Chains A and B, each alone.
Chain A
């Protein structure tokens, strides 16, 4: 049985519309015009127990709405979803014991109190006995490297420290599924890496499944084997992260420099010249059309090579291209 399964899930919100100015406001009072917004448009996917699944998309794509439906706090307009065999919006309280959640932009730790006070409060809320709770806090403090931070008021922690405490708090009751909604938002590079390492460690140690939404493709690349890309309420891509690379990273960019001057009409068959200078050139080719071997052979034959760099687009660029493709299909 998958940990999470979603079938043809839809969520429509009604938004009040108002024309500009006083007249618009008065008209909206008299006759409010409602516009329907399809936040999620019939998505289906599943996540296995213990899987780290990436769930990404631009702002307003429907990621957070989906997560909120999966925690049971929003009712879908139609469709089915099960988390650990339970229908979230019907069995929200029972499910709460089995799942954890962190909404990166909304703190759950008490701001003026040390994190450990919230940990003890959560222990009571999740009905853990005192001895178990103490052991659990000690374990998580070590795993998340927050021993030194637990007794400092949360308001005095850095964002990275606070986020490690937030994720640790969400794991106190040993959830089997963790829903992480933008946990790395606003973090610097070092803090991001530390948070990723900790999430990976908890997945290794306890097998907790993680549904991770993020703006940062680096989070997905570092943690997830599989990724779902959602745009405008619809799934536009689902596969392994490695397949994403293979499928979309066929375009190579080559920067080459020579020890002698290049002819102005320098060209290679099947290769697009982006820029040709006196001693060097920048070019692009698709490995599905032009194999790598002849290109490298051609470069070597053209003169005495000083330097060659072959690079591929970042995952970020790939995802950008997928969004753009999905949008141009719609438009």
Chain B
């Protein structure tokens, strides 16, 4: 039998300092494995993406009547076509989010978190890389199918700048959403069941994040209120940037996302360190 002839994985008593390349390689491999995993059931993936067709059809009927009744070409600066493209991007992001909080909660409840804590990677970054592997594919599917449907309904999409700017903002939006999910997921280390927190977060996104209605249609006070909360920058920011890709708006969206990321991401980091120390693992 041939011995694999591998050298000792690390110096016996030395302190290991992994190179940046090796560290990035790990999270890239986790991302890639999740991507391949998502492709294990292509019909399921396609089926989920088809949901956006139903949503767009409902929105189209709703807003066509609203615009028709108001008699105006545009409402709060958005035409019917703008509104539909906004909602397409908002839904594409919303439907491609990976609910990591639920996954983390399950892992704590069933004890499988043990495997993720005893491997040489960071638990939080592992989840982010795996979540991204899921979201990229789902987002791609939603975008292609959603864009095809909306194009047929209201005509061509915004220009290339819209796609590029929104693309950048969507990556930060995923990060921000991930931080929220991680915050909820980490609470499982203490309270075990997190369904209530998850429900509240989803509803905030729907109402104050701009999933159902562009925030521009809100009364001024509610608009100001919503824009001062982080939820708007998960959905509204990238979707609005998509239909109005100005450099000023790009700067505003990225700045807001950056501020909230620092605040919520920092909290996640501190909580993770505390939660890991008081972890109680279920089962056996």
Interface residues of A (CB under 8 A from B): 13, 59, 63-64, 68, 71-75, 84-85, 92-94, 96-99, 101, 103, 105-108, 110, 112-113, 117-118, 120-121, 124-128, 132-133, 135-140, 142-143, 153, 173-175, 181-182, 205
* Shortest Cβ-Cβ A-B pairs, 10 listed: A139-B4, A124-B29, A136-B4, A64-B284, A96-B120, A112-B40, A97-B10, A73-B117, A135-B4, A173-B9
Q: Given A113-B36, A125-B121, verify A71-B10 contact (CB < 8 Å).
A: no
Q: Give 6 pairs: A residue, B residue, CB < 8 Å, sorted on A.
A: A98-B9, A105-B284, A107-B112, A113-B36, A125-B30, A142-B2
Distance (whole angstroms) from the CB of A39 to the closest CB of chain B: 10
B36 touches A117 (CB 8 A): yes
Residues of A within 8 A of B281 (CB): 68, 73-74
Q: Could you list 9 further interchain pairs (A-B, Cβ under 8 angstroms) beyond the known A127-B22, A175-B9, A182-B284?
A: A64-B283, A64-B284, A71-B118, A73-B279, A84-B12, A85-B13, A124-B28, A125-B119, A125-B120
Contact A136 B40 (CB under 8 A): no
Question: Would you call B114 and A139 a contact (CB within 8 A)?
Answer: no
Q: In the complex, which residues of chain A have a beta carbon less than 8 angstroms from the beta carbon of B120?
A: 93, 96-97, 125-127
A125 touches B29 (CB 8 A): yes
The answer, among B6, B117, B121, B277, for a CB contact under 8 Å with A128, is B6
Smallest beta-carbon distance B120→chain A, Å: 4
* Residue from A74, A84, A205 whose CB has the most chain B CB atoms within 10 Å: A74
CB contact between A124 and one of B10, B26, B278, B283 (< 8 Å): that residue:
B26
Q: Which residues of B contact A96 (CB under 8 A)?
A: 118-120
Q: Which residues of B contact A74 (CB under 8 A)?
A: 279-281
**Complex interface: chain A residues within 8 A of B28 (CB):** 124
- Do residues B40 and A153 form an inter-chain contact, with CB atoms below 8 A? yes
Please report the C-alpha to C-alpha distance between residue A132 and residue B22 in the assembled complex, in whole angstroms: 15
- A73 and B29 within 8 A (CB): no
Task: Please state if B33 and A113 are interface contacts (CB–CB under 8 Å).
Answer: yes
In the complex the two chains form, is B30's CB within 8 Å of A121's CB? yes
* Distance of A98 Cα from B16 Cα, bound (Å): 11
A21 to B: closest C-beta gap in Å: 20
Chain B residues, Cβ within 8 Å of A118: 33
The answer on a CB contact under 8 Å between B29 and A127 is: no
CA distance A127 to B121 in the complex (A): 11
CB neighbours (8 Å) of B196 from chain A are: none
Nearest CB in chain A: distance from B99 CB, A: 18
Contact assessment for B6 and A103 in the assembled complex, using a CB-CB cutoff below 8 Å: no
Q: How far is the CB of B37 from chain A (nearest CB, A)?
A: 6
Q: Are A13 and B26 in contact (CB under 8 A)?
A: no
Q: Which of B1-27 contact A (CB under 8 A)?
A: 1-10, 12-13, 15-16, 18, 22, 25-26
The answer to the question of B115 belonging to the interface, with a C-beta cut-off of 8 Å to chain A, is yes
State how many residues of chain B have any CB contact under 8 Å with chain A: 44
A264 to B22: give the CA distance in the assembly, Å. 81
Q: Is B111 an interface residue (CB 8 A)?
A: yes
List the A side residues contacting B283 at CB < 8 Å: 64, 105-106
Most chain-B Cβ atoms within 10 A of its Cβ — which of A72, A103, A132? A103
Residue B41 lies at the interface, judged by CB distance under 8 Å to chain A? yes
B257-284 CB mask vs A (1 if < 8 Å, else 0) is 0000000000000000000011111011
Residue from B4, B10, B18, B278 within 8 A of A98 (CB atoms) = B10
Do A106 and B111 touch across chains, with their CB atoms under 8 A apart? Answer: yes
Please give the distance in Å from A78's CB to the nearest CB on chain B. Answer: 15
Question: Which residue of the partner chain B has the closest CB to A123?
Answer: B29
Inter-chain CA distance A71–B112, complex, in Å, is 14
CB-CB under 8 A from A107, the residues of chain B are 112
User: Closest CB of chain A to B246's CB: distance in Å?
Assistant: 41
CA distance A136 to B25 in the complex (A): 19
In the complex the two chains form, is A121's CB within 8 Å of B13's CB? no
The answer to whether residues A127 and B18 also contact, given A92-B117, A139-B3 and a CB cut-off of 8 A, is: yes
Could you tell me if A13 and B36 are in contact, using CB atoms closer than 8 angstroms? no
Contact between A94 and B279 (Cβ–Cβ < 8 Å)?
A: no
The CA-CA distance from A118 to B115 in the complex, in Å, is 13
Find out whether the CB atom of A106 lies under 8 angstroms from the CB atom of B4. no
The answer, among B8, B37, B40, B114, for a CB contact under 8 Å with A106, is: B114
Q: How far is the CA of A207 from the CA of B72 in the complex (A)?
A: 80
Distance of A252 Cα from B71 Cα, bound (Å): 100
CA of A106 to CA of B108 in the docked complex: distance in angstroms? Answer: 12
With A64-B284, A97-B9, A97-B16 already in contact, the answer to whether A120 and B40 are too (CB < 8 A) is no
Question: Would you call B3 and A101 a contact (CB within 8 A)?
Answer: no
Q: Are B277 and A75 in contact (CB under 8 A)?
A: yes
B17 to chain A, nearest CB (A): 10
User: B97 to nearest A CB, angstroms?
Assistant: 21
B114–A110 touching, CB < 8 Å: no
User: Contact at B5–A135, with CB atoms within 8 Å?
Assistant: yes
Which residues from B are CB-within-8-Å of A101? Answer: 114-115, 118
- Roughly how many angstroms separate A73 CA and B18 CA in the complex, as a whole number? 21
- Closest residue of A by beta carbon distance from B14: A94
Q: Of A110, A121, A140, which is within 8 A of B4 by CB? A: A140
Task: For residue B274, give the distance in angstroms from its CB to the closest CB of chain A.
Answer: 12
